[in-house]
């Protein structure tokens, strides 16, 4: 007897306020029902060109080699590192959280002689510290996380590209949680390779990883003496598809390109500066509410991401139990801690489409119920009231 077919998909509604994915914008979901085109159809090639141009604007770059990798954000990380690192190359990887450690792992798999520069989780690196390691190692590549999703820490990289170039190094940056939420200025900051994702600040589903390579990075790629270890992520081939020739490399995820194109349109319609300001405004309200509920941030003041709020769980509150209650009773997803903060922190994302007052008030009201149920003494409506006051100010 055959098993019955599963029913039609009808998941319970969720408000995705974790570290990602965030909720996709309704316009993005709408364009995903657009009929498919062939991946070499002239109409789709024009869509590719439009998507690339808008991506350059959002990355604030003129880099010709700017396109979305047909895979999720980690594939963007791998694309940057496997193309720029050859076996035996010296590389410095800066780690102050979970995703810095992932860059260390990938660089090692590329055969690099990796120097790991560590900072405590939740902290950032100062320019003098990085100058010292660049001077001592003289690496080909320095990798660093711009927005560390595991800790909510924002790394200042505005002067780092110039510093790397003084010592002949290429700067690779993880912009997965920053693009579309906070300033990213690839050209002004002299970044050589950057990668991001589609499901956070760009308000699209997971599945694409926007990357951009500077002319300096492309020169390094062309000067390789060995083949790139990954066939699929080898830019020497992909450049022909996303470049002027549009030569076949792989079947692009057509619907995801539609989605990304619409997500980029939304960003540029709003305006980058206005979008960045929106994320800060909603962060300040959420921050006021969280602190009124007795929650402390992991990252220090002045180095906090507005879009990813990582806070310590109050004493006596169960990490998993609290998050399960939020999901079951309120349909709200937040993230638990990773690595050093596993079981000790919650990560609350207000990114892209979800950076709005309604999301701030909903999660604060729900958190108050969870904390009260766990025995934490909080004033009635304290979090929401503090957020309202912040918005009024």
Q: 235 and 316: one domain?
A: no
- Is 18 domain-assigned? no
**Residues 93 and 103 sit within 8 Å (Cβ to Cβ):** yes
Give yes or no for a contact between 125 and 133, defined as CB atoms under 8 angstroms apart.
no
Mean pLDDT within 189-211: 98
Same domain, 155 and 292: no
Residue 356 domain-assigned (yes or no): yes
In this structure, is residue 4 part of a structural domain? no
Quick one: average pLDDT of 308-312? 98
- Tell me if 17 is assigned to some domain: no
* pLDDT at res. 243: 84
* Predicted pLDDT of residue 1: 62
Cis? peptide before 27, omega within 30° of 0: no
pLDDT by residue (tens digit) across 318-353? 999 999 999 999 999 999 999 999 999 999 999 999
CA dihedral 159, 165, 170, 176 (to 10 degrees): 10
Cα atoms in the 13 Å half-sphere on the side-chain side of 351: 37
What confidence tens digit (pLDDT) does each residue in 94-124 have?
999 999 999 999 999 999 999 999 999 999 9
Asked whether residue 301 is assigned to any structural domain, the reply reads yes
Encode pLDDT of 152-162 as tens digits.
999 999 999 99
The domain total for the chain is: 2
Q: How far apart are CA 137 and CA 59, in angstroms?
A: 29
Domain-ending residue, one of 250, 268, 286: 268
> What is the rounded CA–CA span in Å between residue 376 and residue 321?
14
Strands 308-312 and 332-333: unpaired
What CATH number did the domain enclosing 74 receive? 3.40.640.10
What pTM value is reported for the model? Answer: 0.96
Structure tokens at 367: 């958190």
| Model pLDDT, residue 3 | 82
Q: Is residue 165, in this structure, part of any structural domain at all? A: yes
Does residue 299 sit in the same domain as residue 153? Answer: no
Give the residue among 270, 279, 258, 268 at the shortest CA–CA distance from 355: 279
Asked if 283 and 245 sit in the same domain, the reply is no
Give the contacts of 361 (CB within 8 A, at least 6 positions apart). 384, 387
Q: Supply the pLDDT for residue 245.
A: 81
Which has the closest alpha carbon to 175: 86, 337, 82, 61?
61
For residue 94, what are the β-bridge partners? 117
For residue 134, give both structure tokens. 């660049």
- Do both 234 and 292 map to the same domain? no
Of 215, 237, 268, which residue constitutes the final position of a domain? 268
Pair (330, 386) in one structural domain: yes
Q: How far apart are CA 222 and CA 269, in angstroms?
A: 36
CA distances 106 to 79, 192, 200, Å, are 10, 18, 23
Q: Is the pLDDT of residue 90 over 80?
A: yes
Which residues form the domain of 276?
272-392
Q: Are residues 302 and 281 in the same domain?
A: yes
Angstrom distance (rounded) from CA 52 to CA 47: 9
Q: What is each CA distance from 252 to 58, 258, 264, in whole angstroms?
A: 21, 11, 18
Distance CA 341, CA 190 (A): 32
Q: How high does pLDDT run on average in the chain?
A: 97
- Is the domain of 181 the same as that of 194? yes
DSSP state of 97: S
Q: Which of 156, 194, 196 is nearest to 179 (CA)?
A: 196
Are residues 336 and 222 part of one domain? no
Please check whether residues 53 and 195 belong to one and the same domain.
yes
End-to-end CA distance of the chain: 66
- Last residue of a domain, which of 223, 252, 268? 268
**Do 233 and 290 sit in the same domain of this protein?**
no
Do 61 and 147 have their domain in common? yes
């Amino acid at each position: 007897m055959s098993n019955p077919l599963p029913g039609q998909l009808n998941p319970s509604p969720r408000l995705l306020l974790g570290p990602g994915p965030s909720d996709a914008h309704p316009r993005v979901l709408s364009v995903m029902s657009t009929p498919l085109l062939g991946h070499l159809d002239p109409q789709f090639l024009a869509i590719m060109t439009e998507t690339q141009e808008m991506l350059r604007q959002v990355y604030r770059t003129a880099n010709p080699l700017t396109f979305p990798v047909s895979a999720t954000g980690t594939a963007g990380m791998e694309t940057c590192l496997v193309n720029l690192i050859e076996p035996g190359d010296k590389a410095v990887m800066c780690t102050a959280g979970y995703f810095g450690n992932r860059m260390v792992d990938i660089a090692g798999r590329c055969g690099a002689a990796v120097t790991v520069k560590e900072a405590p989780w939740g902290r950032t690196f100062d320019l003098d510290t990085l100058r010292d390691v660049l001077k001592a190692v003289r690496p080909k590549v320095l990798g660093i996380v711009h927005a560390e999703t595991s800790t909510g820490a924002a790394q200042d990289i505005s002067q780092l590209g110039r510093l790397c170039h003084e010592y002949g190094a290429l700067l690779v940056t993880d912009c997965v949680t920053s693009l579309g939420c906070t300033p990213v200025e690839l050209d002004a900051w002299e970044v050589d390779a950057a990668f991001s994702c589609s499901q956070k600040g760009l308000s699209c589903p997971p599945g694409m990883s926007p990357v951009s390579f500077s002319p300096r990075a492309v020169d390094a790629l062309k000067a390789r003496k060995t083949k790139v270890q990954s066939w699929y992520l080898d830019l020497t081939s992909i450049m022909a598809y996303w470049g002027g020739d549009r030569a076949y490399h792989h079947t692009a995820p057509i619907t995801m390109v539609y989605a990304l194109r619409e997500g980029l349109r939304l960003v540029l319609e709003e305006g980058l500066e206005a979008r960045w300001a929106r994320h800060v405004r909603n962060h300040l309200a959420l921050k006021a509410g969280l602190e009124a509920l007795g929650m402390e941030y992991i990252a220090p003041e002045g180095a906090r991401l507005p879009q990813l709020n990582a806070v310590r769980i109050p004493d006596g509150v169960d990490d998993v139990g609290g998050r399960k209650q939020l999901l079951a009773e309120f349909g709200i997803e937040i993230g638990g801690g990773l690595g050093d903060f596993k079981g000790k922190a919650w990560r609350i994302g207000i990114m892209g489409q979800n950076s709005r007052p309604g999301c701030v008030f909903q999660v604060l009201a729900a958190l108050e119920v969870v904390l009260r149920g766990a025995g934490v003494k909080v004033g009635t409506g304290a979090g929401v009231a503090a957020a309202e006051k912040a918005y009024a100010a």
